[in-house]
Amino acid sequence: MVHDLPGVSRRRFLQSVGVSGGAGALFATMGALGLAPAAASPAPPFQAPRRSDFTLTGRSAKKVVVLGGGVAGLASAYELGKAGYDCTVLEARGVVGGRNLTVRGGTTETDLDGSTQRAAFSSGVYLNAGPARIAQWMVTLDYCRELGVPIEPFVNANADALIYNEAAGMLPGRPVRYRTAKADVYGYVAELLAKATDQGALDARLTAQDKERVLAFLQGFGAIGGRADDWAYRGGGRRGFASYPGPGTDAGTPLAGPGSLADVFASNVGRYFSFEFGYDQAMMMFQPVGGMDRIPYALSRAVGAGRIRLGAEITALEDRPGGVRVTYVQRGRTRTVDADFCVAALPPHLMARVPHNLGAGVQAALGSFPATAAGKIGLEYRSRWWENDLRIYGGITETDLDLAHVWYPSHGFHNDRGLIVGYYNTGANARAYGALTPEQRALRAVEQGVKIHGEKYRSELAASFSVAWQRMRHLEGAWTAPPYGTPGYNLLLEPAGRVYFAGDWLSHEVAWQHGSFVSARAAVTAVHRRVMAG
């Protein structure tokens, strides 16, 4: 049995479950407030291979070739390396990290179609083009701690960020702040439910005591009037101020409003609120100080740069009786690596192109992971007008424009310059931007962003760099949609001879580094178990 609060002892937990009938009976039952798991047997915690696993057994660590120097590949080599496995990592790109890519001044990328961008960002300005945030529960943070990668908050939600719904009739220059939108939506929700509750419309569901408690909650939640005021929502300070409270007699100038209930719901601002409740997106979120690629760089250092071959394109994988043979091309020369085992940590759609002898079933399974499109553009500005003028310190502005999400930077507050993620979109929007030239992407992103932020969004722009993941060489996709539960998916969880597959695509946290890490751990555990049993 696993408790959700590991700091509280199992003994104390069982004690508390055992208590019943007293003052605490309400919460003594398991599950009353969700502190106990629904199932009692989650997977055992990962235990990294150790040198001592071998010293006492007479067995010895083996040679492992790892395909792909993304997070899953590097993590595999790192964990195996702890026990002395001799790992070689083959990476086709010129840098480690795979989709964990941080773009800085000087970063150069050539797309599949041959168009090249070179980032002209200033010192200290960067774009996390791939993963950019880490939730508290993710093992990614454990690796940051273990590897000494300093972290800082990533601002995934901000009451002063904006919402701009063009389809709902918002006009250019007329976005609404989250704090205002929330106050109004929650205010009217509270008013409506209080009215219905108090009028007895929910008496079939609520006891008199429930009703009292629900009404008390709603008054605080919505900042609504009481019964005498028919529970009306009339706005208030939570909406924000045109001018905040000041000295002497200045109690501040409230924003005009609120609009009517009909207007507020027609604005559709509420559709963004639940993002903050997600188990994977709720604040607090974190990022490495200095760029997300501090993680693969730290892994790379721990693995040993000498074990990682960059610019190495895999051309063949052969599972043989006593080992595996991997053929690759590096700087025009064909080379081979022989090893006892292989961890194949390429994206599945690219792995499917590598000639191999693992069978038609494996090949079909690899082909059953559709790759998705996603795009991001980094816009460097000469001034941090979003902080200085709009008082937005990090966070995400949501739009129904093809930009989807606009991110303000979570670091470098009050610096001279900073970088806004001008769009982070997926699917059709990502493909549409991806089909443009980098210059056209920037033009369109700015044109759209001006609707939200005004002309400074254009006039203060200093440099831009965009990534269309589906067009990135050696990646060709943002993430995959795994066919969970199919025989093909399950087949790839088992070794194909001496080849083990790993990547976020073989986890239930696709598109998160957490998925890459836990999948790598599973592969490492399987390899090590086999070696120890051999």
Residues 374-413 that bind a second copy (CB under 8 A): 385-386, 388-395, 410, 413
Backbone angles phi, psi at 117, to 5 degrees: -120, 145
What SS3 state is found at 78? helix
Scanning 59-67, 105-113, 158-166, 319-327 for contacts with a second copy by CB under 8 A, the matching segment is 158-166
Residue 42 CA, distance from chain mean position: 23
Quote the least distance from Cβ 287 to a second copy, whole Å: 11
**Which listed residue (57, 60, 110, 136) binds a second copy by CB under 8 A?**
136
Q: Tell me the CA distances in angstroms from 137 to 128, 281, 282, one per residue in order.
A: 21, 11, 11
Quote the least distance from Cβ 108 to a second copy, whole Å: 31
Closest to a second copy by CB, 24 or 226: 24
Q: Which of 409, 471, 486 is nearest to 436 (CA)?
A: 471
Residue 20 touching a second copy (CB under 8 A): no
Token code pair at residue 525: 């555990």
Q: Which of 237, 239, 229 is nearest to 185 (CA)?
A: 239
Contact set for a second copy, span 509-528 (CB under 8 A): 509, 514-515, 518-519, 521-522
**Which listed residue (113, 250, 439, 447) binds a second copy by CB under 8 A?**
250
* Interface with a second copy: number of residues (CB under 8 A): 162
211 Cβ contact partners less than 8 Å away, ≥ 6 residues apart:
197, 198, 202, 203
Contact set for a second copy, span 463-482 (CB under 8 A): none
**Which listed residue (249, 306, 322, 533) binds a second copy by CB under 8 A?**
249
Closest to a second copy by CB, 189 or 468: 189
Contact set for a second copy, span 51-90 (CB under 8 A): none
Quote the least distance from Cβ 399 to a second copy, whole Å: 14
d(CA 131, CA 137): 16
Q: Which amino acid is at 412?
A: G
Scanning 75-83, 102-110, 118-126, 237-245 for contacts with a second copy by CB under 8 A, the matching segment is 237-245
Alpha carbon dihedral 322, 328, 331, 332, in 10-degree steps, equals: 110
Closest to a second copy by CB, 223 or 308: 223
Contact set for a second copy, span 277-316 (CB under 8 A): 277-279, 282-284, 286
Contact set for a second copy, span 173-192 (CB under 8 A): 173-177, 179-186, 189, 192
414 Cβ contact partners less than 8 Å away, ≥ 6 residues apart:
384, 387
Closest to a second copy by CB, 5 or 228: 5
Is the Cα dihedral 17, 18, 22, 25 positive or negative? Answer: positive
**Which listed residue (507, 511, 527, 531) binds a second copy by CB under 8 A?**
507
Residue 338: its H or E element: strand 333-339
